Structure 1
Amino acid sequence: MEKKYKILIFIIILILLFLAIFSFVEQYVYSKKNSSIITNIKNQYSSNENVIISGIANPNSQITIILDNKIGFIFADKKGKWIVNLGILSSGKHNFEIVFSDSENSKIIKTSPIFITDNIKNKQTAFILNSISKFFVAGLSSYNYPKELTTIPLSKPQIFNGKWQLVK
């Protein structure tokens, strides 16, 4: 009888160990797949400066950039790096959002507004670390954290007509 209990306990320990390893691997893979970020963006540019934004996404994934209700698309390279030159923007406040898309879901990052001014005294890059992140399932069905509001605009964004170019 004691031998049966030892074998049973051993099997239970093996099952628990397997479940722990599986859970760790699943969490690791999920965190790697959802590591899309903006690595370089300033919140203020001069009126004669190209607005260049870069970041990291899933390799070969689509990145949708929404600037003042206009939309453009680029793709990350095979290492997941991307960079886009939005060109010189008019003076004033510009609203900016970015959507990282892969086959499973999308991650939307809404940044603070970008300001274009005629005179900038401090030209250091001001990384926007206060971005608000939300996860969206493919389509427009959204996943919200408790008590969080998701707003989907009713207007259809305009498509940029070749204004954006990929910077290498």
Structure 2
Amino acid sequence: MIRIDAIWLYEVERTAASLDGKQRLALRQQQASPAAQALHKWLQTQRQRVPTGGATAKAIDYSLNRWSALTHYLSDPLVPIDNNWVENQIRPIALGRKNWMFAGSLRAGKRAAAIMSLIHSARLNGHDPYAYLRDILERLPLQPFSRIGELLPHLWDSAQ
């Protein structure tokens, strides 16, 4: 009997995490792919039993309409099973969106967005945001315009 629950698919991914690309793909094809196919068949069967227009029907339709995207990870060993990492990275922005509406003006809102982009880019590049901002704000008045790009987080060198 094939397990068709999402927990099983994540268990397969935990095992696959320590494998190289070829091994990960083989494991996904051997264990996760049959489970995903069984889940797809089950969703199709359940959709026929559920009345159109309800929340359950919408949820099943959502999954079925995006099935190729949901299962793309099964054919590409570099693709993760979900996008939780990205969701966690953008969560602070999404949570603060309403607060930033009160930045004072459109111009102030654009400035706040630029600063937030620099802070998060600094984090993603492994820098301490405070040290990064302090350093570039100290350098900025003397930095030639033609070399302003050197202050971007992915090019920044704290040793300068």
Normalising to structure 1: TM-score of the pair? 0.18
Q: Which of the two has greater helix per residue?
A: 2
Normalising to structure 2: TM-score of the pair? 0.19
Instruction: Give the number of the structure with larger relative contact order, counting CA–CA contacts within 8 Å between residues 6 or more apart.
Output: 1
CA radius of gyration, larger in: 2
